[in-house]
Amino acid sequence: MNISAFLRKVARVPETNDEHVGPEIGEKRTTVLGYILLVIMVMVGFGQGQSFIRKIAENIKQPEAPSTCIVVLHDQLDLETRGLSTKSFYYYGFDTFRDCKLTTYELAHGMGALIGTVKPLFDERRVVQSELDTLNASLVAIDAQLGSSKSDYNLSLEEMQAGVPTPVITDQRGVQSALLASREQRKLLADKVAPLEARIKDIDAQIASIAVTHQNALKDEFAWYDSALAWANTLRALLELLFITPLFYFALRRYFIAQGKRSFTAIIWTAVTTIFVLLFAQVVAVFIYDIIPHAFIEVLLKFLAQFKFLASIVQYLLLILVPLLFGGIVYLIQKRVFSGRAVYLRAMKSMKCPNCSMHLRDDMRFCPVCGFQVKEKCPSCGADRYKGLMHCDQCGVRS
C-alpha cells in the first residue's frame, strides 16, 4: 500500500469514480492571479495559525521559573562540582541577591532560610567588590601616570647627556619626585588590593560550601521545574492538536475527494491542506523538541563531534535521504497524474494517438502510423465508439 492509498484509507475517501471524468489535468490549473491568491492564502493562513498557537500557549499556565538567586546558587553548585573558577561568574551573580523574589514553590520548600543564610555573604561580597573595583580603577590611572612620568624622566636624562641648550624637560628633579611619589602610591594601593581579593576568595568558598550542603534541595527545585514545564508543554501541544487535527483531517479528506472527482476545486483544497499540514507538522516538531532533554542533545552532538568520519557518513546518508524523500513524494504525484488512463484521456481530448501521438481524424478507427485501435463497435447500438472511454458517444450506454 503506497502513501496515497494509506492517506485515502485514513481519511475514508472512496476510490476514483470513473463516472466523473471531469476536466483533465491541464484544465484544472488556474490563472496567474489565481496562483498569486492561493499563495497569499497559504501565507496569511499559516500566519493566522501562528497567532492561534500563541493564543493557545497564553492560556496554558506556565510554572514559575526558579528565581535568579536560586539559579546563581545552582550554577555555582554545577561549577563547583566540575572544579571550575567562579570569579567572573560571581561578578555578575552576587548583585541578583539585592531584591531576590522567591517563587511559591521555593518558599514552600524552605528556600527562604537558605537565601537568608547566603544573602549576608553576597551583600558583603558586593561591598568588597565595589571597593576592589575602585582600587583597580585607581591603579589603572596611576599606571598611566607612571608611564608618562617615566617617559618624561628618560627624556630629561637624554637631553642632559646630549647637552641640549633648550631642553623640553626643565624640572628634572620635579619629574623624578613625581615618579617616586607615583610608585609609592601604587605600592600602597596594591597592598590594599591583596586583602580584598583574599576576602572575596574566602566569601566564594563559604558560598560554595553552602551550595554543596544544600545540593539536594537545589537539584529538587530544578527537577520540579523541568517536570512542571514538560507537563505544561505537553498540555499545550495536546490542546493545539485538538483544534488543528480536525481541520487537517477535513482539508485532507476534501482534497482527496476533489482529486478523485478531478474537480477544479482540487487546487484550492491543495492550498488549504498545505496550511494545516504546516501547522500540524510545526506542533508535532515543537512538542518533540520540548520533551527531548536538551542536555541529551548536547551530549549526543559532543559525542558525534569526536568522530569526524562518522559525521561525514551521516552527512552522506542525508545527501541520499533528501532526494529519496522529496523525489518519492513527487513520484507518487506523477504516478497518479501520468497513469495510463490519465495519459489516454489527455491524448484523446487532443485527438492524438495514445501510443505514438500522431494526429487523428474523427473518421479514423486505427492509427495510420502505429496501428493502435482508436475505435470499436458499441455492443449496444453497433456504432463506432472510442475505445477505452466509459460511454458510447452515440447512445451514451456504458460498456
How open is the CA angle 268-12-279, to the nearest 5 degrees? 50
Contact (Cβ atoms closer than 8 angstroms) between residue 199 and residue 126: no
Chain centroid to CA 82:
30
Query: Which residues are within 8 A (CB) of 106 and not within 5 positions of it... i.e. 6 or more apart?
Result: 66, 67, 70, 112, 221
Query: Which residues are within 8 A (CB) of 250 and not within 5 positions of it... i.e. 6 or more apart?
Result: none
3-state secondary structure 39-106: HHHHHHHHHHHHHHHHHHHHHCCCCCCCCHHHHHHHHHHHHHHHCCCCHHHHHHHHHHHCCCCCCHHH
Spatial separation of the C-alpha atoms in residues 88 and 69, rounded to whole Å: 16
Query: Which residues are within 8 A (CB) of 72 and not within 5 positions of it... i.e. 6 or more apart?
Result: 93, 94, 96, 97
- 173, containing H or E segment: helix 172-213
366 DSSP β-pair partners: 373
Task: Give me the count of residues in the chain.
Answer: 399
Res 297: pLDDT? 64
Of 332, 367, 341, the closest CA to residue 353 belongs to 367
Tens place of pLDDT per residue across the chain (399 aa): 555 555 455 444 444 443 344 444 444 466 777 788 888 888 988 989 888 888 888 888 888 888 877 887 777 766 555 444 444 444 444 555 666 788 888 888 888 888 888 888 888 888 888 898 899 999 888 888 888 878 877 777 777 777 777 777 667 777 778 888 888 888 888 899 999 989 988 988 888 888 888 888 888 888 888 888 888 888 888 888 999 999 989 988 888 888 777 667 788 888 888 889 899 988 888 888 777 666 566 666 677 667 767 767 776 776 777 667 666 665 666 566 666 777 777 787 888 888 888 888 888 889 999 898 888 888 888 888 888 788 888 888 886
User: Could you tell me the end-to-end alpha-carbon distance of the chain, in angstroms, rounded to an integer?
Assistant: 29
17 φ/ψ sector (left φ>0, alpha ψ -120 to 50, else beta): beta
Within 10 A of 351 (CB to CB), how many other CB atoms are there?
A: 13
Res 246: pLDDT? 92
